[in-house]
Structure 1
Amino acid sequence: MQYRREIDGLRAVAVLPVILFHAGFSVFSGGYVGVDVFFVISGYLITSILIAELEQGNFSIARFYERRARRILPALFVVMFACLPFAYMWMLPSQLKDFAQSLVAVVFFASNVLFWREDGYFAAAAELKPLLHTWSLAVEEQYYLLFPIFLLVLWRFGRQRVFWSVVAVAVLSLLLAEWGWRNKPSANFYLAPTRAWELLAGSICAFMTVGRAQRSSNVLSALGLALIVFAIFAYNDSTPFPSVYTLVPVVGTALVILFAAQDTWVARLLSLRGFVGIGLISYSAYLWHQPLFAFARLRSLTEPSHVLMAALAAASLLLAWATWYWVEQAFRKRANPLLVTRRSVFAASGAIGAVFVAVGLVGHVGKGFEWRLTGEQQAILLRGQPVSYGCEQMRGCMMGDANGDFSGIAFVGDSHMGRYAYLLNEQMAEQNLNAMLVSKGWCAPLLYWRSSVIERCGGENAEEFERAFEELLSDKDVKIVVLAAEWGMYTTGYRHGSEAIAYDFTFDEMKNASVSENPRQFNLALARTITDLREAGKEIIIVGPVPEYKFDVPYAALRLSMLGSHDFTNYLQQREEYERRNADVFKAFEVSDVGDRYIDVWSIMCGSQTCSPFTVDGFPLYNDDNHLVREGMQHVVDEIMRRLM
């Protein structure tokens, strides 16, 4: 097919926003749409070649896959090899295990499936995955595996029928994506069935151009480029993707392909030497940028500066040029390329791929080479493990000395109470006493309180929890009820990393459909719960909210140790942040006159103005971002027992 400089220029328009988006420059909030531009271009170029060969009668599946191997694998393997030593030096065992799995997935072009099963693309943890970006290569290669066969089988029915078949499949894929972002957003983002329509959009462009004169329109080609630029700056991580919103950059790319003839303004702009040069190295630039950014973030205790990320973005272009010149060109030169024969290409690809698979399997089985860790680092992992009393039933659950006297105490709450129960169980047993426990994750110790989300104490779980709580009211042997929870989650509707939801006070039979109503609903539920407990003759003790963090505490502790740092400054929580998170909780406690029945966790765990999630020697007090481990809860549980006894 005839070379079009403006298509290489369009590649530059695609790759630069992707790089700057991943570098953290917020102005390029929709820079990820560059991948969608790549999809359309790729579908166009490959389908153009396939149509030309099918019409000439010299199409070969083996030759097609040889070209793909020469194009994709050499640069990819070089980048993967470059990642290995840095992953070994800087990644935590859990991260290195995940990285090892990604090595295997990349070799089989299945990394999109792997990353779908892990965190979402826009999650903070995704920024630390050096091979995250290979999901798009996997989508393309899955497409290339099936599409040539699809064309070959249908070509006998004529080009026109094949064209309309491609259109029909593209429409179905778009409709599936529109359903997917509403129902299965992560799968929708990563998997080929909901991305195929973007590649097929390029294929449709190929059917409309191969064998026909190039169309020319200044207006339509300029509109196309404007649509791409609009999406780059207007979209963000809350834009449903892929969906009908994706039509903007996809249609924009198609308009440039179809109407940017050499005499148009857009073609002249995109054919400038700078655009074409970056376009030629765009594949290698795409490969290099994510590992550079991920390892920079892994190596730094804080988010790297914009200056550093800009320098790494520039470095990705320099490395891309070197890789394009010394690697890509070496395997794709028509005259005397490396690995001359098709058999040698496939054999070398298989052998090198097998090495990566072996390394990946060893890393997976070896649990990220945990033996790399020092004794201190292994202790951090051990002391950062979750603890819980482990009684799963919500009714009839007792703790302490099974043969001891009943203390008259009942402990009620969500998973935070479940953590306290671990140590309360020991202390009750030491005094030959036992106590009742009603605890379930996401279940606030409130009567007439419900979530519409089943996983967050909704449905049968909520009903069972409420029945168990109500039984305490009528149990005359229960004299004291201790309430503990992640209180702030129920007024705000979320914890760090989770989506906010509405909770409902069901006693007034008025459905709460808005997260903004959570504080009022919480106030009503707390007041009603305390009233019912007091009318039943129960004394009440309320354990205040635990300071929560926006990062995984054991991970941060291990990272600090591996980097040889004991500077906790960037991990301290300010009191004003704690009070802001729990402002509506404290207002509700004040309205309900909790008074001296309240245990102030901040004053027990923290200083006057700051709180550390670590011990003074760097061990974690939490097993995640909000659940305490034994050392973290020790003084809080001591205070609970002091109040009780």
Structure 2
Amino acid sequence: MSLDIFAPTAGAQAFRRDINGLRAWAVTAVVLYHFGLAGFDGGFVGVDMFFVVSGFLMTGIIGKGLQRGDFSLWNFYLARARRILPALIVLAAVLLAVGWFFLMPKEYEMLGGHARRTLLFASNLRYLQESGYFDNDAHEKWLLHSWSLSVEWQFYLLLPVLLLAVWRLFPGRRAMVLVHVLLLLVSFCICVALTSSEPPKAFYLLQSRAWEFLAGGLLFLFAESLRLSARIRLALEWLGLLSIVCAVVFLDSSSRWPGWLALVPCIGTLSVLLARREASPWTGNAVAQWLGTRSYSIYLWHWPLVAGLAYCERLNSLAWVLSALFATLLLGQLSYALVEVPARRGLHGLAPRWAVAALLLAIFPPLLAAAWIRETDGFPQRLPAAVGAIEAQADNRNPRQDECLDKGATCTFGGPSIEALIVGDSHADAVVTAAQAALPGSQQGIRFRAAPLCLPVFGAHEVEKKHAAPCLALKRSLKAELADASSDVPVIVINRTSVYAMGYNETFEGEETGRPLVFFSLPADRASPEYLEEFRRHYLATACEIAGHRPLFLMRPIPEMAIDVPHSMAKAMLIGAPREISITLAEYHARHAFVWGLQDEAHEQCGARILNPLPYLCDDKACHASRNGRPLYADDDHLSEYGNRLLVPMFAKAFASMHKEGVALAQRRKEAR
């Protein structure tokens, strides 16, 4: 959102108190929504209100300039830059400076990338590639709110060029109206279609948002000379404000947005603009005028404060939220008084070429800093050594992960004498080196085959298509292994089995929690009793098929912490609030009861043996994510190379039992001969 829609517009058209009041309504809705205050679940519609107002004002500036014959494309862009850039540059610079002291390397690197995209007005495209606006990890993006600035700037780049071309070919209002109508209909159809098929694109892209700007512009073209009675204008204002209130109160983040529903706040905004009641007590009062005048700076600074509360895990504290709301108003006032107004006056007094030079000179340092931060991977050397050591555990993973998991190669860990075949997914990859360390002799080894997000259950289909082919290859390899009658090498299955049946219990790349990751007949949105019974049948059938050919070992699920352990511990240490991360045994069993039941059935029906990591990772009350202040996990659910060493005794017992069974089997074969 740009200063054009937040601050009084001079020159092209007279200042309107009702528009300034609409800005106040919009920014209040957005700010209170982001801070999570009850009753403002649909406050995100404030952005749509701003888009409509912006389209109204910009079409007015361009249209009147074309009518007068003095419209300048260069001056239009320069005016927008004068209004938008100064406060935005200061915000980016402050965040980069603060992040130096308080952000982890990956966070700081991400901030650098986001700051660069923000200053180049392309952040909406970056956020589209990452995840949705309503996802839980949105609070990790300190400049997420800049997506709307990028959409507006992209609109500002295209609209004057288009209208100027139309005016030169077909001078007059009629052609401009026709262009607005046609583009509005096309954009709205794109918006509705994408909202159903690809919601993030509908949310972030200009082509699906342009209709909101164009609706405002169309209103200007139709209503500039329209004269309405006082009664009609009052009715229009009431209708508009009621529509806006209904959208703020009754919509929420689960609504299909923007789509058809965006018509509600947009029509409401158009109604208030058409009413033009500048003396209205709802938009013309002193509070609304104060907020409206400072709304750009308020909007700029509120989201970093929201992200800061989330970073410090204080977003659920009413006292902290209220303090942050006060800080939002204070920073908004300081930014308006010390940056917006002086920059606007100073740049306006310069010749155009000097104004451009001043803006380029101001934007260059934060752009250079952002690029440097990206190139140095967040410059981890700036962190205290203790913090860096904890954060480094995120990279303390199986050194052969790329070869053996990501590329799906069949690997041997250890010597040429194969003692066991380990199959599974990334959880198998996270512990295979511990199994190798537990082998009795240096010539003994493990054959390993795993694939990301792969459940080695015959008949299971992956919801994520990108993982389907590697997983299918793994299952075919397992089938071939079982068909080899000359081998009796035991099979150890290690999986994050619960995630396939019950879905994620943490936020992962925007995926929905609680949605199963595999299906057998039809994809399931939830783990219904019918779905779980189908899962059970296929799981047991596969386990018994394997056990019919080889000794089978099933490892119980690794405890899942649901938050990134090294990142959370390092961040807590950096901000001076060390934390102990754990889950209770009751939480563990609530998550994994279904899988434990399956494994117990496989033990009873097929003779599968059970490997239980809990005695090595948990005490009698909880499963802990660290030991001696060092994380046991590389993220939220994968053990690190440090953590998996706790399981070496478990694997050693398993190999000892395999050896005893092998000796007994050899003896029986000898006696049979």
State the TM-score, normalized to the length of structure 2: 0.87
Match of 2:449 in 1: 438
Q: Cα distance 1:522–1:247, how it changes in 2: closer, same or farther (>3 A)? A: same
Trace 1:21-420 onto structure 2 (pairs within 5 A). 21-156=33-168, 157=170, 158-213=172-227, 216-262=232-278, 267-298=280-311, 300=312, 303=315, 305-332=317-344, 339-388=349-398, 389=400, 390-392=403-405, 397-402=410-415, 404-407=416-419, 409-420=420-431
The answer to whether the 8 Å contact 1:181/1:242 transfers is yes
How far apart are residue 18 of structure 1 and its match?
1.1
- Per-residue deviation, residues 301-321 of structure 1 (Å, max 9, x unmatched): 554622112211122112212
Q: How many residues align?
A: 628
The answer to whether the 8 Å contact 1:394/1:464 transfers is no
Deviates more, 1:558-567 or 1:47-56: 558-567
CA distance in 1, matches of 2:39, 2:506: 24
Q: Cα distance 1:398–1:329, how it changes in 2: closer, same or farther (>3 A)? A: closer
How far apart are residue 430 of structure 1 and its match?
4.3
How far apart are residue 576 of structure 1 and its match?
2.1
- Per-residue deviation, residues 453-496 of structure 1 (Å, max 9, x unmatched): 313x43x3343222122223222313422111111102213342
Name which of 516, 520, 526 aligns with 1:515.
Answer: 526
Name which of 495, 498, 501 aligns with 1:488.
Answer: 498
- Per-residue deviation, residues 123-161 of structure 1 (Å, max 9, x unmatched): 333213322211111111111111011111101313112
CA distance in 2, matches of 1:426, 1:376: 28
Write the letter of the residue equivalent to 1:238.
S
Deviates more, 1:73-82 or 1:273-282: 73-82
How far apart are residue 372 of structure 1 and its match?
0.7
How far apart are residue 566 of structure 1 and its match?
3.1
Unpaired runs of at least 5, structure 1: none
How far apart are residue 178 of structure 1 and its match?
2.3
Write the letter of the residue equivalent to 1:185.
P
CA distance in 2, matches of 1:374, 1:140: 40
- Per-residue deviation, residues 307-361 of structure 1 (Å, max 9, x unmatched): 112211122112212322333233445xx87643333321111110111111112
How far apart are residue 171 of structure 1 and its match?
1.7
Q: Cα distance 1:118–1:553, how it changes in 2: closer, same or farther (>3 A)? A: same
Q: Cα distance 1:481–1:77, how it changes in 2: closer, same or farther (>3 A)? A: same
Q: Cα distance 1:514–1:68, how it changes in 2: closer, same or farther (>3 A)? A: closer
Write the letter of the residue equivalent to 1:59.
F
Match of 2:476 in 1: 467
CA distance in 2, matches of 1:351, 1:120: 34
- Per-residue deviation, residues 76-123 of structure 1 (Å, max 9, x unmatched): 223233323311111111111122222222222122222223343223
CA distance in 2, matches of 1:120, 1:81: 25
Match of 1:423 in 2: 434
Q: Cα distance 1:128–1:434, how it changes in 2: closer, same or farther (>3 A)? A: closer
- Per-residue deviation, residues 535-577 of structure 1 (Å, max 9, x unmatched): 33x2221111111122211211221232234331xx3212222
- CA RMSD in angstroms comes to 2.5
Write the letter of the residue equivalent to 1:164.
L
CA distance in 2, matches of 1:208, 1:326: 38
Q: Cα distance 1:429–1:34, how it changes in 2: closer, same or farther (>3 A)? A: farther
CA distance in 2, matches of 1:53, 1:75: 27
How far apart are residue 505 of structure 1 and its match?
6.1
Write the letter of the residue equivalent to 1:433.
Q
CA distance in 1, matches of 2:333, 2:392: 45
How far apart are residue 30 of structure 1 and its match?
1.6
Match of 2:4 in 1: none
Write the letter of the residue equivalent to 2:206.
A
Deviates more, 1:588-597 or 1:137-146: 588-597
CA distance in 2, matches of 1:197, 1:129: 27
The answer to whether the 8 Å contact 1:447/1:525 transfers is yes
Trace 1:548-567 onto structure 2 (pairs within 5 A). 548-567=560-579
How far apart are residue 258 of structure 1 and its match?
1.8
State whether structure 2 residue 462 is matched by structure 1 residue 451: yes
Unpaired runs of at least 5, structure 2: 1-12, 657-673
